[in-house]
């Protein structure tokens, strides 16, 4: 039987990588739902190729753009995932970027046997609610961000109390080892990642290392380990994704080519034992040596790391606020309203401000509506 697939964010980098894998394995998968937010031409071409039953859109403008195509091809457009009926996807890929992915992820759980989640922001902002839904509907869950997928594999069947430290690797982004005035950095420079080809938001987060701060918060929530168990190491080759140091002196790391297709395909299949992603040789052609390089991150170059100190207050509203303010600030940079280093300096200032401290003292996240209350507070802070 073909596995029924739902992709939230099919027009993005993770969505496209997933569809590339599926297109090579059409006998194993049937795409039932696609979704996107802006690139309607790509969404239409994906729908022509994969013939889904549903397209999920939350954007009215896009609905108008693809309405006639969908009527002609008998594809049902839905604007609310709760309208899905009598369906259970074998696998859902949650790959919307930002907090915009939170409600779709929460809503799709009841319709999914297994969720592969790339959307770290929804975990950071709503893990409490996501994990509750996963338990309620008995759905499996696999994080596919390469570091988290590696940690998951490395700690399988191991006692968590025996972990001394977990190192999450960072490529260092486009400005690692570059003597450059960060104030003058253009959008194109910031999103030109040296190794990974990703969406704009995560690319900016990778350029200033905020992506690692978010990944550590994500990992701490997912694996139920304190933030101080995690550290960042710069590894420009992006071959090693996570290193686990055990208290008994042994360390293990996970090594794979820097492509998201590896965690994705190994989560799509339960026991994959053959993939065209395997390179024949460990060494590159004509090379007789391979060195793995690691650096300690320079706090002056990457002040984002200090944000982890604020996060250590261990309050989900703090995580949420860090995530939301960062999203707004990244957007401001992408709209050319602020300079690249302002993202972290403003985030740091705001998180230490009296207004935020007071808000945090008086507001806790108990209900999903509290998440959006904090979202609106952050929005007001930046206006």
Calculate the alpha carbon distances from 341 to 185, 294, 330, 347, 378 in Å.
9, 24, 10, 10, 19
User: Judged by CB, which is closer to ligand NAD: 202, or 307?
Assistant: 202
Instruction: Give the three-state DSSP class for 167.
Output: strand
DSSP state of 157: T
Shortest Å, Cβ 332 to ligand NAD? 17
Instruction: Kindly state the tokens that stand for 30.
Output: 């049937």
Residue given tokens 């002196």 in the structure block: 249
Q: Which does 225 bind (CB under 5 to 8 A by kind): Mg ion, ligand NAD, none?
A: none
- Report yes or no: 325 and 382 within 8 Å, Cβ to Cβ: yes
- Which residues, listed in sequence order, are joined to residue 91 by a DSSP beta bridge? 5, 114
Compute the Cα dihedral for 92, 200, 48, 44 and give only its sign: positive
Task: Find which of ligand NAD, Mg ion, none residue 46 binds, CB within 5 to 8 Å per kind.
Answer: none
- Please provide the distance, in angstroms rounded to a whole number, between the alpha carbons at the two ends of the chain: 52
Q: Is 327 in the site for Mg ion (CB under 5 A)?
A: no
Please identify, using beta-carbon distances, which residue of 99 and 198 lies nearer to Mg ion.
198
> Per DSSP, what are the bridge partners of residue 254?
242
Number of residues that bind Mg ion (CB under 5 A): 2
Distance between CA atoms of 296 and 247, rounded to whole angstroms? 21
* 66 to 12, 71, 102, 213, 333: CA distances (angstroms): 18, 9, 24, 38, 31
CB of 164 to ligand NAD, least distance (A): 26
Task: Name the residue nearer to ligand NAD (CB basis): 30 or 327.
Answer: 327
- Binding flags for Mg ion, 109-148, as an x/- string (CB under 5 A): ------------------------------------x-x-
Q: How far apart are CB 101 and ligand NAD at their closest, in Å?
A: 6
For ligand NAD, the closer of residues 8 and 351 by Cβ is: 8
User: CA angle, 319 as apex, 343 and 252 as ends, to 5°?
Assistant: 95
The structure tokens listed for 12 are 């993005």
What residue number has its CB nearest to ligand NAD? 12
Q: Which does 69 bind (CB under 5 to 8 A by kind): Mg ion, ligand NAD, none?
A: none
Which residues contact residue 135 at a Cβ distance below 8 angstroms, ignoring those fewer than 6 apart?
A: none
Residue 118, binding choice from Mg ion, ligand NAD, none, Cβ under 5 to 8 Å by partner class: ligand NAD
Question: CB of 125 within 8 A of CB of 320?
Answer: yes
DSSP state of 247: T
Residue numbers at the binding site for ligand NAD (CB under 6 A):
9-15, 36-38, 58, 95-97, 100, 118-121, 145, 196, 198-199, 202, 260
Choice between 119 and 348, CB closer to ligand NAD: 119
Minimum distance from residue 123 beta carbon to ligand NAD (Å): 9
Nearer to Mg ion, 121 or 147 (CB): 147
Among ligand NAD, Mg ion, none, what binds residue 11 when CB lies within 5 to 8 Å by partner kind? Answer: ligand NAD
Q: What's the min distance (Å) between Cβ of 193 and ligand NAD?
A: 9
Say which entry of Mg ion, ligand NAD, none residue 15 contacts (CB below 5 to 8 A, set by partner kind).
ligand NAD
Are β-strands 240-246 and 163-170 bridged in parallel, bridged antiparallel, or unpaired?
A: antiparallel
What's the rounded Cα separation, in Å, for the pair 362 and 5?
A: 42
Nearer to ligand NAD, 133 or 145 (CB): 145
**Under the criterion CB under 5 A, does residue 205 sit at the interface with Mg ion?**
no
State the nearest-atom distance from the C-beta of 377 to Mg ion, in Å: 28
109 or 118: whose CB is closer to ligand NAD? Answer: 118
* Interface with Mg ion (CB under 5 A): 145, 147
């Amino acid at each position: 039987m073909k596995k029924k697939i739902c992709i939230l964010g099919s027009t993005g980098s993770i969505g496209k990588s997933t569809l590339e894998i599926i297109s090579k394995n059409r006998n194993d998968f049937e795409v039932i739902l696609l979704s996107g937010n802006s690139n309607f031409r790509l969404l239409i071409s994906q729908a022509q190729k994969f013939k889904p039953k549903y397209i999920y859109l939350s954007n009215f403008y896009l609905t108008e753009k693809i309405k006639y195509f969908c009527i002609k091809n008998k594809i049902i457009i839905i604007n609310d995932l709760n309208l899905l009926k009598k369906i259970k996807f074998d696998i859902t890929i949650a790959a919307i970027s930002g907090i915009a992915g939170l409600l779709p992820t929460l809503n799709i759980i009841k319709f999914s046997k297994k969720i592969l989640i790339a959307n770290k922001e929804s975990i950071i902002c709503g893990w409490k609610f996501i994990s509750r839904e996963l338990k309620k509907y008995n759905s499996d869950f696999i994080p596919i961000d390469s570091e988290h997928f590696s940690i998951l594999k490395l700690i399988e069947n191991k006692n968590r109390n025996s972990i001394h430290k977990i190192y999450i690797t960072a490529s260092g982004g486009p400005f690692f080892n570059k003597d450059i005035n960060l104030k003058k950095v253009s959008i194109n420079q910031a999103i030109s990642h040296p190794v990974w080809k990703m969406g704009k938001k995560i690319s900016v987060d990778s350029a200033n290392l905020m992506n690692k701060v978010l990944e550590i918060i994500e990992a701490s929530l997912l694996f139920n380990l304190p933030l101080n168990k995690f550290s960042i190491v710069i590894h420009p080759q992006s071959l090693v994704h996570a290193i686990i140091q055990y208290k008994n002196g042994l360390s293990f790391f996970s090594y794979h080519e820097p492509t998201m297709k590896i965690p994705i395909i190994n989560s799509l299949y339960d026991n994959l034992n053959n993939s065209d992603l395997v390179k024949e040789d460990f060494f590159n052609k004509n090379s007789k040596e391979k060195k793995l390089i690691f650096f300690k991150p320079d706090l002056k170059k990457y002040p984002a790391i200090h944000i982890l100190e604020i996060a250590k207050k261990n309050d989900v509203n703090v995580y949420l606020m860090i995530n939301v303010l960062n999203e707004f600030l990244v957007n401001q940079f992408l709209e050319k309203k602020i300079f690249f280093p302002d993202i972290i300096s403003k985030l740091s200032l705001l998180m230490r401000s009296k207004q935020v401290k007071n808000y945090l003292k008086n507001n806790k996240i108990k209900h999903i509506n509290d998440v959006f209350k904090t979202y609106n507070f952050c929005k007001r802070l930046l206006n």
